[in-house]
Amino acid sequence: MAVIERPPASTSTMLGAAAALSVVGIWATWLISMRYSRGGMLTPLDLSLLRFGIPALVLSPFLRRTGLWPRSAGTLPLVLMIVGAGAPFFQVAAFGLHATPASAAGVLLPGTMPLATALIGMLVLGERPDRLRKIGMLAILAGGLMLLIGTASGAALTWRSYLVMPFGAVLWAVYTHAFRRSGLGAFEAGALICFWSTVINLPLIPLMGSNLLVAPVSEIALQIVPQGLLSGLLATVLYGIGVRMLGATKAAAYTAVTPVAAAIGGAVLLREPVDALTIAATFVTGLGVLLSTGLLSRRRT
């Protein structure tokens, strides 16, 4: 039996860091593309079909290794992975994003995901965060409060922003814990999530309708890259690689950059107004995410 050699620790760290940083850019691009889609013909179901259908085809060879429902991964982890990062997560996020500017969405979705991950670890798995991680959680809450104050000053945020977006973050946090316990590789997990998400989406076409056959080709082509290739395929696989090579704590630390990237992208590409309070909220939340992951605490030991 051939022995697979693991890369040196330094190489694994570099590869994991590159994967995690790539995910940050993809997530910011995805947030912006979702906001841009509001003015087009494609519905959230259409976008979900692109997001999961294309990767399902590309990653289909990996299903031959695992089968459509690998018993070794466990039924509960698989269900939680599909719900947390698949079609259900996408519809929740789309519902919130259509009512949330990209700058605020960066704080309320990927910005609060590490907080949700930490809370699940504490309440369900019995993890005990140190002082720096607790300070980080408070900073994330402070960032959300700053956005709430901005709403009273005329910012375009509603209950959908403050309830639906954090709920999406909880779903992704559930997926993160389930993926860690499934024992699956990044490619295998991505293949299963995309395949079963497509299975969920297809029966919904007669009920919800689809504009994929009538929408302009240019609009579909514009969404294929951020939805199918970047977010659906690369981000799912790269996030898994980052978690496997760095561990969940370090991989999550890199997502601290996402709120800032989303705010800048929304202002530059969509001309969304970004006031001083929103900018401050993105940086406070980003710092909170960095602290809440425990990366700085680990360096101190």
Distance of CA 156 to the CA centre of its chain: 23
Give Cα separations from 291 to 64, 219, 295 (angstroms).
40, 40, 7
Environment class of 111 (CB within 10 Å of its CB; exposed 0-12, middle 13-18, buried 19+): buried
| Rounded-to-integer distance, Cα 231 and Cα 243, Å | 17
Token reading at 179: 């993926």
Q: What is the pLDDT of residue 152?
A: 53
Return the C-alpha torsion angle 45, 203, 181, 252, nearest 10: 0
Give Cα separations from 189 to 91, 234, 242, 300 (angstroms).
20, 12, 13, 33
Q: What percent of the chain has pLDDT over 90?
A: 39
Least confident of 7-21, 43-57, 153-167, 186-200: 7-21
Q: What is the pLDDT of residue 295?
A: 67
Residue numbers of the domain that contains 188:
15-293
Intra-chain end-to-end CA distance of the chain, in Å = 39
Predicted confidence (pLDDT) at residue 301 exceeds the cutoff of 50: no
Side chain identity at 148, as an amino acid letter? L
Domain for residue 170, yes or no?
A: yes
Element (H, E) at 42: none
Within a 13 Å sphere around the CA of 298, how many CA atoms are in the beta-carbon half? Answer: 12
Name the one residue in this structure whose structure tokens are 């519905």. 43
pLDDT in tens, 221-249: 989 999 999 999 999 999 999 888 877 76
Domain for residue 7, yes or no?
A: no
Instruction: Give the model's confidence band at 4: pLDDT under 50 very low, under 70 low, under 90 confident, else very high.
Output: very low
Token reading at 114: 């590490």
pTM for this model (two decimals): 0.85
Residues 6+ apart with CB under 8 A from 153: 275, 277
Average the pLDDT over 47-68 and give the result: 94
Average the pLDDT over 11-20 and give the result: 81
Name the one residue in this structure whose structure tokens are 């090579």. 245
Which value, in Å, is the radius of gyration of the alpha carbons in the chain?
19
pLDDT in tens, 87-104: 999 999 999 988 888 778
Average the pLDDT over 186-203 and give the result: 96
Q: How many domains does the chain have?
A: 1
Domain for residue 23, yes or no?
A: yes
Q: What is the pLDDT of residue 151?
A: 59
| Rounded-to-integer distance, Cα 228 and Cα 234, Å | 9
Ramachandran category for residue 74: left, alpha or beta (phi over 0 → left; psi -120 to 50 → alpha) = left
Domain for residue 98, yes or no?
A: yes
Q: Identify which has the larger pLDDT, 241 or 127.
A: 241
Range among 30-34, 140-144, 197-201, 281-285 rated most confident: 197-201
Domain for residue 270, yes or no?
A: yes
pLDDT in tens, 157-170: 788 888 999 999 99
Side chain identity at 172, as an amino acid letter? W
Domain for residue 109, yes or no?
A: yes
Domain for residue 257, yes or no?
A: yes
Predicted confidence (pLDDT) at residue 22 exceeds the cutoff of 50: yes
Q: What is the pLDDT of residue 88?
A: 97
Domain for residue 1, yes or no?
A: no
Least confident of 67-76, 239-248, 266-275: 266-275
